[in-house]
Amino acid sequence: MTEKKENNFLIDTGNLSPKALARKHQLENDPSCRRDPMEYLPGMEIIKSDIREKVMREVDAYDYESYTAADVRRALNHEHRTIEDFKALLSPAAAPFLEEMSRIASEITSRHFGNTVYLFTPLYIANYCENYCVYCGFNCYNSIHRLKLEHEQIEHEMKVIADSGMEEILILTGESRAKSDVKYIGEACKLASKYFRNVGLEIYPVNTDEYRYLHECGADYVTVFQETYDLKKYETLHLLGHKRVWPYRFDAQERALRGGMRGAGFSALLGLSDYHKDALATGLHVYYLQRKYPQAELSLSCPRLRPIINNDKINPLDVSERVLCQILCAYRLFLPFAGITVSSRESARFRNGIAKIAATKISAGVSTGIGDHESKYEGKDDENAGDEQFEIQDQRSLHQMYDDMKGEGLQPVLNDYLYV
Amino acid sequence: MTTANDPLILGGHEFHSRFILGSGKYSMQLIEAAVKDAGAEIITLAVRRTNTQKKDNILDYIPKHVTLLPNTSGARNADEAVRIARLARELGCGDFVKIEIMRDTKYLLPDNTETIKATEILANEGFTVLPYMFPDLNAARDLVSAGAAAVMPLAAPIGSNKGLAAKEFIRILIDEIDLPVIVDAGIGRPSQACEAMEMGAAAIMANTALATAGDVTRMARAFRSAIEAGREAYLAGLGRVLTRGASASDPLTGFLREAK
């Protein structure tokens, strides 16, 4: 079933110097000039943990073609689903059971979360990046308008967003310690605590003590996308920068929890590699961490590849909406307690539907650009805004989303959290 | 109606309804049904959801005659529960507080040890403390000593609608604890609520059973009837049915018939 098509990520853009261009091509074409992705960089904390080994042992042994309709039926009938059940539900054999899976998922979601759907918005405060991740609009070789918001600008953005009624914010940066260091992000968290009730972070992975500092600044949730759990593939997509260090990224959520964060978010970027294995790995990452840190609030996202500036051809390949729905149902059936976030990468139609099946949180009033909320919310021009990380599909404002979710029979919730 | 001369007394306050709406799966329709159709006079509310959102603020939907029972959900230890309870008081939610302390996000099972600690601190500060607990007699006795106004054992895992899975242990609490025993979490059907009330539970807390019903309003009415029926049966002196063994046709004490 898997299509052989691949995305063409390698695009030369803008005014790179001949030296930079030569380096870029060398990284792309000569694997021997790239660092070992298992080798930590100086300053990166190494924690003792068996989670990675446990997850990858299952993923490596996963032969999804071997599951049958009988395995799927058994999984559907179980009240508490095992890892084997989860594997069956992610397998091609489960595809014909999508409606049944959706019905069960919907019932579980309703039992655990009621008819509520949480709304939040992301705020990108800087798009500088030191990584070369070939599929990302912020990658250091992509010619885009870079921007880092100063303190007053961040506050202005937050005011605009808070005035729209939003109470939960997710602060994001490009991955540049040089341009947006931990202290800068901490200051943004302190500001966010003034304007919002719930502050989350989606930034480059940091050490435990740095997570602790960011927690003290007001953040309580950390999301880190592993992008792909397929190390061989990962190595060919993340060619340069600290993000290339795969195990340091893998352990980020665990460091965040040890640093005092209340919750952590997980995801693979679907479309980068074999989605069966990546979805299995993501679910198991949550499963094993929950067993080790039972007090943690864990959640899953499910981003699919989207077009970026200078490469509008990027797409999620074989991860169709039906496949995405199957993956989300499998997550829900295996991890009834986990939050599931569906971002504006997906269409309004898909998000309206999935909110009634498996999703517990959706974004609204989204911009993935830098410093452009006022222009986007109020229709003002702002030529100085920093460029976007990827194109979004669902552009609904908070108010429209709120009303639409009510129209779907759901209760939109802006906050269910208290910083203690 | 028997409710007029059979009030539920919690912390010196009288209530005439023995249905309490739990928090968690709120919709405005649910609150309305709980108050109007189930007759709820107490509604629990997570402190973390009070004083929030201008639009559809839950507080705007709760009628004035209903007592708000703020809960400490989100607390992972006694210290956090105490801080949340104090915040509730500052927010004007009164002196009632339901302690909920969970160190497990999967099953949401209450942590009795931390709950006892928080109960003691808050009772000393003048709160009317209603602790959510795992039905353990030793813990319940400690909660009594700590100053709780009632104990609230779970019947089954929260949200499971599995009914009185912990029936025998709740029965022990009802027998041994002199405070009201309010059955919290897991009640999925009116018949289960009725059974708990027949056993002598003081009140029933439910949420998911109503929230996930096909017709919320109708289910709210069904719970009201079931709880009232169970209470009536309890007051009427329903005998326990002992199932162990059979009644012997030839009594062992037969020889005593002719005793002098």
Strand partners, A199: A169
Q: Residue A195 corresponds to which tokens in the numbers above?
A: 């304007």
CB-CB neighbors (< 8 A) of A111 in chain B: 159-161, 208, 212
**pLDDT attached to residue B26:** 63
Please name the residues between 167 and 196 in chain A that touch chain B, using a CB distance below 8 Å: 167
Pick the closest to residue A359 from A117, A181, A60 (CA basis): A117
Neighbours of A416 (CB within 10 A): 21
Here the contacts of B53-59 (C-beta below 8 Å, separation 24 or greater) are: B53/A165, B53/A167, B53/A413, B53/A414, B53/A415, B54/A165, B55/A165, B55/A402, B55/A414, B56/A411, B56/A412, B56/B28, B58/B26, B58/B28, B58/B31
Q: Is B27 on the interface with A (CB under 8 A)?
A: yes
Q: Please state the rounded mean pLDDT for residues A56-63.
A: 98
The CATH number of the domain covering residues in A52-413: 3.20.20.70
Find which of A148-162, A380-394, B18-32 is predicted with most confidence, using mean pLDDT: A148-162
* Active-site annotation holds for B98: yes
**pLDDT attached to residue B159:** 76
Residue of B nearest to A110 (CA): B212
The backbone torsions φ and ψ at residue A253, rounded to the nearest 5 degrees and listed phi first, read: -60, -40
Neighbours of A382 (CB within 10 A): 12
Are the C-beta atoms of B70 and B23 separated by less than 8 Å? no
**In angstroms, rounded to a whole number, what is the distance separating the alpha carbons of residues A252 and A247?**
9
What percent of chain A has a predicted confidence (pLDDT) above 70? Answer: 99
Asked if the Cβ–Cβ distance from B26 to A114 is below 8 Å, we say: yes
Q: Is B215 on the interface with A (CB under 8 A)?
A: no
Lowest mean pLDDT among A88-92, A159-163, B154-158: B154-158
**In angstroms, rounded to a whole number, what is the distance separating the alpha carbons of residues A305 and A255?**
27
CB-CB neighbors (< 8 A) of B28 in chain A: 411
Q: Which of A114, A197, A416 sits opposite B211 (nearest CB)?
A: A114
Which strand (E) or helix (H) includes residue B90?
helix B78-90
**In angstroms, rounded to a whole number, what is the distance separating the alpha carbons of residues A272 and A233?**
8
Strand partners, B21: B43, B206
Q: Residue A415 corresponds to which tokens in the numbers above?
A: 């906050």
Asked if the Cβ–Cβ distance from B160 to A111 is below 8 Å, we say: yes
Residue of B nearest to A417 (CA): B48
Please name the residues between 72 and 101 in chain B that touch chain A, using a CB distance below 8 Å: 74-76, 80, 83-84, 87
Q: B75: alpha, beta or left, given left = phi > 0 and alpha = psi -120 to 50?
A: beta
Looking at CA atoms only, how far is residue B49 from chain A in angstroms? Answer: 5
DSSP string, B176-203: H-SS-BEEES---SHHHHHHHHHHT-SE
Query: What digits encode the pLDDT tens for the residues A395-404?
Result: 999 999 999 9
Sign of CA dihedral A101, B109, B231, B33: negative
Q: Which of A197, A414, A420 sits opposite B80 (nearest CB)?
A: A420
What percent of chain A has a predicted confidence (pLDDT) above 90? Answer: 82
Q: Which of A111, A112, A420 sits opposite B74 (nearest CB)?
A: A420
**pLDDT attached to residue A81:** 97
User: What interhelical angle do A275-292 and A83-90 show, nearest 10?
Assistant: 150
Q: Say if residue A15's pLDDT is above 90.
A: no
Q: Which of A294, A415, A420 sits opposite B106 (nearest CB)?
A: A294
Beta strands in A209-251 (DSSP E): 221-227, 238-240
Residue of B nearest to A338 (CA): B106
Spell out the residues 6+ positions from residue B211 whose beta carbon is closer than 8 angstroms to its own: A110, A114, A115, B24, B25, B27, B30
Give the CATH fold of the B8-236 domain. Answer: TIM Barrel (3.20.20)
Asked if the Cβ–Cβ distance from B46 to A167 is below 8 Å, we say: no
Tell me what percent of chain B is helix, strand and coil, each rounded to the nearest 5.
40, 15, 40
Q: Say if residue A367's pLDDT is above 70.
A: yes
pLDDT: which is higher, A383 or B136: B136
**pLDDT attached to residue B242:** 57
Single-letter residue type at B92: G
Strand partners, A338: none
Asked if the Cβ–Cβ distance from A297 to B105 is below 8 Å, we say: yes
Q: Residue B17 corresponds to which tokens in the numbers above?
A: 């309804």
Residue of B nearest to A111 (CA): B159
Are the C-beta atoms of B40 and B66 separated by less than 8 Å? yes
Q: Fill in the DSSP letter of residue B158.
A: T
> ipTM beyond 0.95?
no
In terms of DSSP bridges, do strands A238-240 and A132-133 run parallel, antiparallel, or are they unpaired?
antiparallel
Pick the closest to residue B109 from B172, B156, B77 (CA basis): B156
**In angstroms, rounded to a whole number, what is the distance separating the alpha carbons of residues A36 and A264?**
27
pLDDT in tens, chain B (260 residues): 445 689 999 988 999 999 998 876 667 778 888 888 888 888 888 888 775 656 667 777 788 888 889 999 999 999 999 999 999 888 888 899 999 999 999 999 999 999 999 999 999 999 999 999 999 999 999 999 999 999 999 999 887 788 999 999 999 999 999 999 999 988 989 999 999 999 999 999 988 888 888 888 898 899 999 999 999 999 988 765 655 555 666 778 778 888 77
Asked if the Cβ–Cβ distance from A111 to B159 is below 8 Å, we say: yes
Q: In angstroms, what CA-CA distances link A158 with A121, A177, A222?
A: 11, 22, 19
- Using a 10 angstrom Cβ sphere, with 0-12 exposed, 13-18 middle and 19 or more buried, the burial of residue A373 is buried
Q: In angstroms, what CA-CA distances link A8 with A11, A108, A135, A228?
A: 8, 39, 9, 17
CB-CB neighbors (< 8 A) of A294 in chain B: 103-106
Residue of A nearest to B208 (CA): A111
User: Would you mind telling me the total number of residues written for chain B in this entry?
Assistant: 260
Q: Is B57 on the interface with A (CB under 8 A)?
A: no
Q: Residue A143 corresponds to which tokens in the numbers above?
A: 């010619």
CB-CB neighbors (< 8 A) of A110 in chain B: 25, 211-212
Q: In angstroms, what CA-CA distances link A297 with A183, A260, B76, B238?
A: 25, 12, 11, 45
Question: Half-sphere exposure of A378 toward its Cβ, with a 13 Å CA cutoff?
Answer: 13
Q: Which of B25, B54, B64, B98 is catalytic?
A: B98
Q: Please state the rounded mean pLDDT for residues A250-262.
A: 98
**In angstroms, rounded to a whole number, what is the distance separating the alpha carbons of residues A175 and A46?**
19
**In angstroms, rounded to a whole number, what is the distance separating the alpha carbons of residues A141 and A131?**
9
CB-CB neighbors (< 8 A) of A116 in chain B: 25-27
Q: What pTM did the predictor assign?
A: 0.91
Q: Is B202 on the interface with A (CB under 8 A)?
A: no
**pLDDT attached to residue A266:** 97
Asked if the Cβ–Cβ distance from B48 to A417 is below 8 Å, we say: yes
Q: Is B26 on the interface with A (CB under 8 A)?
A: yes
**In angstroms, rounded to a whole number, what is the distance separating the alpha carbons of residues A199 and A65?**
41
Are the C-beta atoms of A55 and A229 separated by less than 8 Å? yes
Single-letter residue type at B44: T
Q: Residue A106 corresponds to which tokens in the numbers above?
A: 């919907």
Residue of B nearest to A106 (CA): B212
Q: Which of A116, A337, A412 sits opposite B105 (nearest CB)?
A: A337
Are the C-beta atoms of A270 and A304 separated by less than 8 Å? yes
A222: Cα separation from own chain's centroid: 10
Which strand (E) or helix (H) includes residue A266?
strand A263-268
